[in-house]
Chain A
Amino acid sequence: MTQKGKPLTRRDFLRGSLGATIGASLLGTKFLKAGQTTGASSLVTIVRNENAMDANNIVNPEVLKSMLDQTLIKFTGQNSTRDAWLSLVMPKDTIGLVSTTHLNPTHQEVVDAVKSSLIEAGIPEEKILNAQGGPEKPKACTALIALPALKAHWLTGLGTVMKIYILYSGKPSYYHQENNAKLGETWSLPFVKGKTRLVLVDALHPLCDKGPQPDPRYKWAYNGLIAGTDPVAVDTVSLHIIEEKRKAMRGEPWPLSPPPLCVEAADKDYGLGTSDWNNIKVEHYGWEEDLLLG
């Protein structure tokens, strides 16, 4: 990520020339403008329930199921969960569920709820795979449902949606340092591109500081599910929630560092969706307290 050999600096970021800087070095790659942007507003739904977890942060599966049902119906505009799923996937699809495994992993209850819901919608159980892992995993799937957990990350600023396919690259450490802005590449790999039917962020118990290891002081009960089909829009909303929580927690500006280059670069350099808040339509349902969308 250089422009004529010049590394990106804080000053580029402050000048707002991030996209141009990264783009100049990446234009011409086959991954650019991969074609998942519609041009219209991207819908992102947030469904919250204050009883999704108990005082010990144990997930209530029944409440979670109702949150998932509501998410699917509100996001797709369909009348039932079954119809909602069938507007996103086809019965003949082999569906890969892709969850976060390290540092604030996706709750297993969320993965189980999605799997059960798909089965109830008529998808055969054997057609639903755990697709987190190496490149062979998505190759075995015709559809992917991304289930990242909401968290900050010490090398990428944010470690939620754009980072969820990092293992598909077969070279995850390549994206750990200055190359985190290239995470959009992983969404444009030939065996990944176009397969993502839904991004559903586990925002039940997010982590708002970067780690690199979990610190319980920076986790809180948001009790939410965030959903969309535009991965960049979902990551932008996720980022906003993390930033608002950090501000509220410290009572002073507490910017993520390094800046989450991967989100804006996914928009401006890989065309995976929109990071422009003005082009994102956020609908929220349920528990309103500390929504963090201010």
Chain B
Amino acid sequence: MIQNQILKNTTTHPGLFMGFCLYLCLPVLLFLPFIPGVAGGKMKESKPALPKTVGLWTRPDSPRMVNTENIFDYMDGAGELYIGYCFDHLESYEYEAKSQKNILVELYFMKTSDDAFGLLSLDWGGESIDLGSSSLDKTASAESQWPRALYGEGLLRIWSDNIYARIMAYQETAESREAVLTLGRTAVKGRHNPPSPELLKHLPASFQPGWKLRTDRISYFRSYLVLNSIYYLSQENILDLNLETEALTALYEKKEFSQGLRNVRLLLVRYPDSDRAGEALLHFHRVYLPDHTFQKESASSGVTTNVFPVEDGWLGYALQNTTITFIFECPDRETAMDIMDRLR
């Protein structure tokens, strides 16, 4: 009865209506930060509203919907890449024009922003594009700012919160470039820009003496197939990677007068718990280093650290809690030990 009366009054008095809305919404607003997935900038994003027409191109009314069940029908073996990350679904539009080749728009809806970042991180090449005022991660320090959009020869790739987008003109022209960029700006409009994955904070910008991080060679992933496409370790999953783990790999470079540039490869894997991290290290050691003895952690530090000479230099690893750090292709034992120490 009382509710009906309030409703009746609000429909005739706009001021009362606003107050009524506030009365209803206030409890929700107060508890909003405590709702899972909403706190910390994780609010559910609105879906990009792509224009029906852009320049000379027009899209169909509805996208082609692709999920884990039909992704291989859509893109053959390339589907392995996306299901190697926390993939939700893909919406694909083909924009057509009478006088120009098509523009393909693919919006990959991932389950986290980290996964969308990971897809972009597989290739940092191309021209960095600012698609809007918030298109750079302003919360990060200057040296760790990451491009949110990269363009090259007709292809625009975007990381926008939980969306990874590929917008590709089959033929680059002045008109198609403008249309691609317009579609990109529309796709990111009003969306949040969460920071890059927390795991990246474990990467020092440099090691002494003279080893510097190649920021254009940092990749974030969860699948051994993706790892193998960057740095081949084994044709099997010897690190027990899966969608619950997160990993990154990076190159450190050093200029040496006698030998030019030298690189070492760093690989960092974080597991859901320390037991699984320990099992993964044993698995790796058993398969990759069968000719070397596995030495357990020192009781005092709780850290397992080992270095070994192998065919392409010195290999080191360190297990600490849930994280294993590997270093490959070190020029000598001292460098491997030094880097492992500094990463702890």
Residue numbers of A with Cβ under 8 A of B are 1, 6-11, 13-15, 56-57, 102-103, 153-155, 172-173, 176-178, 180-181, 209-217, 252, 257-259, 261
Report whether B76 and A257 are in contact in the complex, using a CB–CB cutoff of 8 Å.
no
Closest-by-CB residue of A relative to B261 is A252
Report which of A10, A173, A211, A252 forms a contact with B234, defined as CB distance below 8 A.
A10
B294 CB contacts on chain A under 8 angstroms: none
With A11-B288, A217-B153 already in contact, the answer to whether A211 and B236 are too (CB < 8 A) is: no
User: Which among B125, B229, B287, B312 is the interface contact of A154 at CB below 8 angstroms?
Assistant: B229
The answer to whether B232 touches A155, judged by C-beta atoms less than 8 angstroms apart, is no
B229 and A257 form a contact (CB under 8 A): yes
Known: A217-B152, A217-B155. A258 touches B236 (CB 8 A): no
- B200 in the interface (beta carbon within 8 A): no
Question: Are A7 and B311 in contact, with the CB atoms below 8 A?
Answer: no
Chain A nearest CB from B290 CB (Å) reads 7
Query: Does A154 contact B78, Cβ atoms closer than 8 Å?
Result: yes
Q: Which applies to chain B's interface (DSSP): helix, strand, loop or mixed? A: mixed
Q: How far is the CB of B315 from chain A (nearest CB, A)?
A: 9
Of residues 196 through 232 on chain B, the ones whose CB sits less than 8 Å from some CB of chain A are 225, 228-232
Complex alpha-carbon distance, A216 and B169, angstroms: 9
Q: Mark B167-184, 1 if CB is under 8 A from A, else 0.
A: 010011000000000000
User: Which residue of chain A lies nearest to B82 when distances are taken between CB atoms in the complex?
Assistant: A212
Partner of A9, one of B125, B172, B229, B238: B238
In the complex, whether B97 has a CB less than 8 A from a CB of chain A is no
Please tell me if B338 contacts chain A, counting CB pairs below 8 Å.
no
Q: Shortest Cβ distance from B255 into chain A, in angstroms? A: 13
Does B129 make an interface contact (CB < 8 A)? no
A-B contact pairs, 14 of them (CB 8 A): A7-B234, A7-B236, A9-B234, A11-B288, A13-B232, A155-B225, A178-B235, A178-B236, A181-B235, A213-B75, A213-B78, A214-B168, A217-B152, A258-B229
Residue among B80, B225, B235, B261 having the largest count of chain A Cβ atoms under 10 Å: B235
B235 in complex: contacting residue of A1, A209, A210, A252, CB < 8 Å: A1
| B279-315 to A contact mask, C-beta < 8 Å, 1/0 | 0000000011010000000000000000000111000
Is A6 a contact of B290 with CB atoms below 8 Å? yes
Could you say which residues of chain B place their CB within 8 Å of the CB of A11?
Answer: 288, 310-311
Enumerate chain A residues within 8 angstroms of B310, measured Cβ to Cβ.
11, 14
**Are A155's CB and B172's CB within 8 A?**
no
Interface residues of B (CB under 8 A from A): 72, 75-78, 80-81, 123, 125-126, 152-155, 166, 168, 171-172, 225, 228-236, 238, 261, 287-288, 290, 310-312
Cross-chain contact A217 with B229 (CB below 8 angstroms): no
| Distance in angstroms between the alpha carbons of A8 and B225 in the assembled complex | 14
Known contacts A154-B78, A216-B152; A9/B231 CB under 8 A: no
Query: With contacts A7-B234, A154-B81, A155-B80 known, is A212 near B290, CB below 8 A?
Result: no
Provide the bound-state CA to CA distance between A178 and B312, in Å: 22
Q: Nearest Cβ in chain B — how far from A108, in angstroms? A: 14
State A262–B97 Cα separation when bound (angstroms).
Answer: 41
A residues less than 8 Å from B78 (CB atoms): 103, 154, 211-213
Closest residue of A by beta carbon distance from B173? A56
A243 to chain B, nearest CB (A): 15
Interface majority SS (helix, strand, loop, mixed), chain A: loop
- Given A7-B236, A9-B238, output 7 extra A-B contacts at Cβ < 8 Å: A57-B171, A177-B80, A212-B77, A212-B80, A216-B154, A216-B168, A259-B232
Complex contact B238–A216 (CB within 8 A): no
Verify B155–A9 contact, CB threshold 8 A: no
Q: Which residues of A contact B234 (CB under 8 A)?
A: 7-10
| Residues on the A chain within 8 Å of B172, using CB | 216
Q: Which 9 A-B pairs have the closest CB atoms?
A: A212-B78, A178-B235, A7-B236, A14-B311, A216-B153, A217-B152, A9-B234, A102-B76, A258-B228
In the bound complex, residues from chain B placing their C-beta under 8 Å from that of A176 are 77, 80
Q: Are B232 and A212 interface neighbours, CB within 8 A? A: no
Q: Whole-angstrom distance between the alpha carbons of A252 and B214 in the complex?
A: 13
Q: How far is the CA of A103 from the CA of B72 in the complex (A)?
A: 13
Contact of A56 with B171 in the complex, beta carbons under 8 Å: yes
What separation, in Å, do the CA atoms of A180 and B228 have in the docked complex? Answer: 13
A6 touches B287 (CB 8 A): yes
Q: Which residues of A contact B155 (CB under 8 A)?
A: 215-217
Cβ–Cβ < 8 Å partners of B232 in chain A: 10, 13, 257-259
Q: How far is the CB of A244 from chain B (nearest CB, A)?
A: 19
* In the complex, chain B residues whose CB is within 8 Å of the CB of A213: 75, 78, 166
B287's partner among A9, A178, A181, A215 (CB-CB below 8 A) is A9
Distance of A11 Cα from B123 Cα, bound (Å): 26
- Min CB distance, A222 to chain B, in Å? 16
Q: Is the CB of A7 within 8 A of B231?
A: no
Known: A212-B75, A212-B80. A15 touches B311 (CB 8 A): yes
A285 vs chain B, min Cβ distance (A)? 29
Instruction: With CB as the reference atom, state the residue of chain B lying closest to A15.
Output: B311
A5 to chain B, nearest CB (A): 10
Bound complex: CA of A81 vs CA of B65, how far in Å?
48
Complex: A177 Cα to B225 Cα, angstroms: 7
From residue A291, how far is it (CB to closest CB) to chain B in Å?
23
Q: A252-B261, A257-B232 are in contact. Are A103 and B238 (CB under 8 A)?
A: no
Interchain nearest-CB distance for A259 vs B (Å): 6
A178 to B238: give the CA distance in the assembly, Å: 12
CB pair B126 A217 closer than 8 Å: yes
Q: Which residue of B80, B171, B235 contacts A258 across the interface (Cβ within 8 Å)? A: B235
A169 to B167, CA, bound (A): 34
Given A176-B77, A177-B235, A258-B228, answer yes or no on A215-B152 (Cβ-Cβ < 8 Å): yes
* CA distance in complex: A249, B248 (Å): 25
A211 nearest CB across to chain B (Å): 6
